């Protein structure tokens, strides 16, 4: 099971991806298109074009996890818009709201007492 911790680096791909992509296809997309290392432990979040499916790819040190959530009805209402960047950072509590088909931009968590310095 993947535990979403506040220390995790979470990146959301702005552009939609083909939902048929598996681990290798999404890892290649991370390297080639997003210019990010899929082996870094960063949690990458992808969405299909219709907005009904979200996939999460993360490397845990031994192998990759690929998780998928497909809504039985409705769509994920919020997704970052293209502003010249391929990835948008999210906090752990925002990802949990996103996975519940909510709006993470409106989610308010407790302010970070001291921001953690994460490796780039």
Q: What is the mean pLDDT of residues 30-56?
A: 95
Q: What is the mean pLDDT of residues 37-44?
A: 95
pLDDT of residue 112: 64
Cα–Cα distance between 52 and 26 in angstroms, integer? 18
- When pLDDT is cut at 50, 70 and 90, the band that residue 38 belongs to is very high
Residue of 80, 75, 82, 73 lying closest to 94 (CA atoms): 80
Residue 106, C-beta contacts closer than 8 angstroms, at least 6 positions apart: none
The region of weakest confidence among 11-25, 48-62, 105-119 is 105-119
More confident residue, 66 or 1: 66
- When pLDDT is cut at 50, 70 and 90, the band that residue 74 belongs to is very high
């Amino acid at each position: 099971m993947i535990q979403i911790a506040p220390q995790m680096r979470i990146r959301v791909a702005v552009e939609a991806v083909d939902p048929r992509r598996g681990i290798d296809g999404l890892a290649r997309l991370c390297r080639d298109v997003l210019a990010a290392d899929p082996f870094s432990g960063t949690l990458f979040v992808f969405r299909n074009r219709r907005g009904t499916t979200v996939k999460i790819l993360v490397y845990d040190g031994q192998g990759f996890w690929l998780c998928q959530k497909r809504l039985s009805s409705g769509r994920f209402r919020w997704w970052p818009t293209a502003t010249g960047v391929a990835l948008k950072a999210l906090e752990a509590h925002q990802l949990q709201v996103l996975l519940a088909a909510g709006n993470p931009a409106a989610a308010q968590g407790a302010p970070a007492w001291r921001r953690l310095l994460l490796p780039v």
